[in-house]
Amino acid sequence: MTRFVLGRIGFYTLVAVLLAFFTIPLLWLVTAPFTSDPTYEVKVPDFTLDNFRAVLEHPYALPSLWNSVVLSVGSAVLVVVMAALAAYALSRVRLPGRDALLYALLLLSSIITGTAAMVPLFQLAVELNLIDSQLGLILILTGGLLPAAIFMLKDFMDSTPKSYEESARVFGASPLQIVRHVVVPLVRPGLATIAVWAVANVWGNFLMPYLLLSDVEKQPAAVITYTLYTEGGQANLSMLSTFGLLYSIPVVLMYLFVSKKYGFRFHGGIKR
């Protein structure tokens, strides 16, 4: 009995510490936007809306959020469609060198999407006339996200039962129809997870848009965030915190929506 009580106490203490660790850094984001002249200090706000008015009046703030939506939704759609097709094919048909290929691409993607390939990607974008093109940026971002997406989705595909596909095939469905009407419904939580992952990745990506979009009217919120400085060259905390809150809300809503509708979970591990 004492052991049970101690266990309970230990459990709730641990959970309280975890909650504190993950909550405390977020406090500033929910207090500073409603405080006049915020500093880095977290204090009870005076509930002013002046900061929001200032953000609304900023010529590029709201349009940049729309640009973020275009970029992240565009990339997520491409990533999900292409990765689903590729992961399905790789899961069901043993193409020669499949596993080595997957690992090689995964390895490459984790390196090349960082700072390492900035220079070649920029040169490539210039050659292909993709500078200042949102479509070009979407393609580049998609290329970077695809290997990890295929890798994760293939695990989902491997764990779905094959018998439905066999029956669909007996009734004369084409492979594309089977994917659409049999496989996709089965792996929907996986597709939703990949979509959220892709959106969150692009939504927060600073480096690539900064490098490839010079037109301020096309730049996403991540780039605009770094332009919010006062005349004195200091970070404009009232603008930054308020814009940061507005910039954060869409991904949070998306997560809540997806986790409610499809369940937000991973299958993982290399099954053998």
Partner 1 sequence: MAQAISPPPEVVREDGPARGDSTDAAGLGRVRAAVFVAPALLLIAVFLVFPALWVLYLGLTNYRLTGVAAAEPQFVGLDNFIAAVTTPAFWNSTWLTVEFVLGSAVIGQAVLGFTIAWLMRDRRGTLKRAVEGLVILAWILPSAIVAFLWVALLDRDSGTLNAMLGIPGFAWLLDHPMLSIIIFNVWRGTAFSMMLYGAALGNVPPSHLESARLAGASSWQQLRDVVFPHIRGHILTNLLLISLWTFNDFGPFLLTAGGPDGRSEVLAVHVYKVALQAGELGHGAAVSTVILLINLVVAVFYLRLLRSKK
Distances (CA, A) of 262 to 147, 258, 266: 23, 6, 12
Provide, rounded to whole angstroms, the least separation between the CB of residue 53 and partner 1.
Answer: 20
Number of neighbouring beta carbons within 10 Å of residue 94:
9
Among 62, 69, 70, 106, binds partner 1 (CB under 8 A): 106
Contacts to partner 1 from residues 234-263, by CB under 8 A:
235, 240-241, 244, 247-248, 251-252, 255-256
Provide, rounded to whole angstroms, the least separation between the CB of residue 142 and partner 1.
Answer: 6
Q: Is 271 in the site for partner 1 (CB under 8 A)?
A: yes
Cα 135 to Cα 71: distance, rounded to the nearest angstrom? 8
71 neighbors 138 (Cβ within 8 angstroms): yes
Provide, rounded to whole angstroms, the least separation between the CB of residue 101 and partner 1.
Answer: 9
Among 8, 162, 180, 261, binds partner 1 (CB under 8 A): 162
Cα 203 to Cα 220: distance, rounded to the nearest angstrom? 8
Contacts to partner 1 from residues 108-147, by CB under 8 A:
108-121, 123-124, 139-140, 142-144, 146-147
| Per-residue tokens: 56 | 């609304």
Among 62, 158, 236, 262, binds partner 1 (CB under 8 A): 158
- The span of 32-40, 47-55, 56-64 binding partner 1 (CB under 8 A) equals 32-40
Provide, rounded to whole angstroms, the least separation between the CB of residue 28 and partner 1.
Answer: 4
In the chain, the N- to C-terminal Cα span, in Å, equals 43
Please tell me whether residue 229 adopts helix, strand or coil conformation.
Answer: strand
**Between 47 and 76, how does the x/- string for binding to partner 1 read (CB under 8 A)?**
------------------------------
| Partner residues linked to 227 by β-bridges | none
Provide, rounded to whole angstroms, the least separation between the CB of residue 37 and partner 1.
Answer: 12
Among 45, 92, 184, 227, binds partner 1 (CB under 8 A): 92
Cα 173 to Cα 169: distance, rounded to the nearest angstrom? 5
In 3D space, the residue among 268, 104, 90, 99 whose CA is nearest the CA of residue 194 turns out to be: 268
